[in-house]
Amino acid sequence: MGWRCVLDIYLVDGTYELFRHYYAMPSARDSNGREVAAVRGVLASVLGMMKGGATHIAVATDHVIESFRNELWPSYKTGEGIEPDLLAQFSLLEEVLSAAGIVVWPMVEFEADDALAAAAAAAARDARVERVIICTPDKDLAQCVRGTRIVQLNRRTRISLDEAGVFQKFGVSPTSIPDYLALVGDAADGYPGLKGWGAKSSAAVLAKFAHLESIPTDWREWRVNVANASALADTLSDERDRALLFRMLATLRTDIALFDDVDELRWNGPTPAFTALAARLDAALAETRRPMARRSRSAPILRSAPRR
């Protein structure tokens, strides 16, 4: 038997990671007074993935929070309300990760979720790739899961979802996730779904019909055990165009060219620029957000960085 290279590709939701670390970690400011704690946390976390054995990795970020979806639905999520200290760390995170030798995709027209979806689809086309692990808890990304080859990993809870896991969690297959979100809505992304359509009714109907256009107008043809089926059918009939728009918002783009070969995602160690940036982050003073907290220093990033 011939030897075959087997690769695991890790695709990280940098936006989620930045938010997660911002609210989980004590404040830390560098010598210029710039908040850097979340960046420091994400960097240490991603470097930890390499220490744990990851060889191919890329991080997608929302360089600009708004995207083409804001033109389709004005109430779609924006940067409004995001704390300035958090928003200001996006560009720094991209700079630091790039200096660390990690592939970064800062998204402007599209969202980080689109980059993750497109990268997962592209990586899965390579026969050398055994698994693509999308690292995010965002339910949007469940639509990208395929069998046990493309999976979704919540790094905080360490729960991984393959296709069977997605069905167990949502009651629908991954390909029906955009239809599901169109019906139930997604408060985080700023669209409400359809009135009366909850998680249970949406899952029950879509488990049978898969997509919005396949759901019969006459509820008596559903033969699905849901409450108020008549009212749900009327709502869907009256608001079908809105439901289709919401599905468009929920559908991630996979037609974005991000790399030509998965070998481009291999981590080969930090660049020369990393030393100075890491020292700047290491020197930042950490303090809790409570005024009387005592200052402390975290473990140096350079010391925690994996060595080649």
What pLDDT score does 301 carry? 53
CATH at 237? 1.10.150.20
Same domain, 190 and 244: yes
- Of the residues 250, 272, 288, which one is the last residue of a structural domain? 250
- Of the residues 224, 250, 276, which one is the last residue of a structural domain? 250
Q: Could you tell me if 56 and 265 are in contact, meaning their C-beta atoms sit under 8 angstroms apart?
A: yes
Model confidence over 121-157: pLDDT tens digits?
A: 999 999 999 999 999 999 999 999 999 999 999 999 9
Same domain, 16 and 66: yes
Same domain, 32 and 79: yes
Same domain, 184 and 281: no
Does residue 292 belong to any structural domain of this protein? yes
Same domain, 52 and 93: yes
Does residue 64 belong to any structural domain of this protein? yes
Q: Could you tell me if 202 and 139 are in contact, meaning their C-beta atoms sit under 8 angstroms apart?
A: no
Same domain, 13 and 140: yes
Strands, DSSP E only, in the chain? 7-13, 27-29, 56-62, 103-107, 129-135, 150-154, 159-161, 285-287
Same domain, 58 and 163: yes
**Between the ranges 7-11, 278-282, 287-291, where is the mean pLDDT highest?**
7-11
Residue range of the domain that includes 232: 174-250
Same domain, 48 and 195: no
297 — pLDDT class (breaks 50, 70, 90): very low
Average pLDDT, rounded, for the chain: 92
Model confidence over 180-215: pLDDT tens digits?
A: 999 999 999 999 999 999 999 999 999 999 999 999
Does residue 306 belong to any structural domain of this protein? no
How many separate domains does the chain show? 2
